[in-house]
Amino acid sequence: MTSWSLSIRTLHWLVLALVVLAWASVEAHEQFPRGSAWRGLWMQVHFHAGMAVLMLTGIRLFVRLAGRSPEPEDNLMARGARIFQWLFYPLLVALPVAGFLTAQFDGKDIALLNVLGVPALFAPSEVRADQLEDIHGDVLFALLTLLVVVHAGAALIHHFVLRDDTLRRMWRR
């Protein structure tokens, strides 16, 4: 069995954990009233998780292109799965970038690690912020959810129904 490299495996599960954290934190922030400290804190967790996804996706793209992948099988299903997997990359860039722009147009403070303040690059605009929030939180997030459900479903079918090594290759050496 040829597994994915340690770096790809680490990045794969780390990015999954960060996407879940980004989703959970934005849900958590909605439980608190506007202007409250907790609401602001959860939003910062959301920004950090999302920006980390963006940075790790850049690294992952490089590792994926430069490193080795398991021998590709030469059948239509396998080729389809590979094309499908590549869809994640543009989405994992577009989603956080749209989030970043939403925060910018909304006039929200993004202070990475509470130190690296990101300057306001655009004049605040409620209309733009609303449009971008729809693209970010509704359209792109729905697309990601759809891809993940199909992708994870396929991985589980490989593991439990077809009983092959697809999931194990992404989990261990």
> What does residue 111 show for φ and ψ, rounded to 5 degrees?
-115, 95
What's the first-to-final CA gap in the chain, in angstroms? 8
State whether residue 125 is helix, strand or coil. Answer: coil
Residues β-bridged to residue 111: 117
Among 10, 133, 135, 143, binds ligand HEM (CB under 6 A): 133
CB of 52 vs ligand HEM, minimal distance in Å: 8
- 141-160 vs 88-105: helix crossing angle, rounded to 10: 150
The CA dihedral of 153, 160, 1, 83, to the nearest 10 degrees, is -20
Among 85, 122, 130, 172, binds ligand HEM (CB under 6 A): 85
Contact between 94 and ligand HEM by CB under 6 A: the answer reads: no
Say which residue the tokens 């950090």 belong to.
Answer: 48
Is residue 25 within 8 Å of 46, Cβ to Cβ? yes
Residues 136-165 that bind ligand HEM (CB under 6 A): 136-138, 141, 148, 151-152, 155-156
Q: Whose CA is closest to 155, among 141, 144, 142, 169? A: 169
Among 23, 40, 131, 143, binds ligand HEM (CB under 6 A): 23
Among 10, 12, 28, 125, binds ligand HEM (CB under 6 A): 12
Among 5, 8, 120, 128, binds ligand HEM (CB under 6 A): 8
Contact between 64 and ligand HEM by CB under 6 A: the answer reads: yes
Binding site for ligand HEM (CB under 6 A): 8, 12, 15-16, 19, 22-23, 26, 46-47, 50-51, 53, 60, 64, 70, 81, 85, 88, 92, 95-96, 99-100, 102-103, 106, 108, 110, 133, 136-138, 141, 148, 151-152, 155-156, 166-167, 169-170
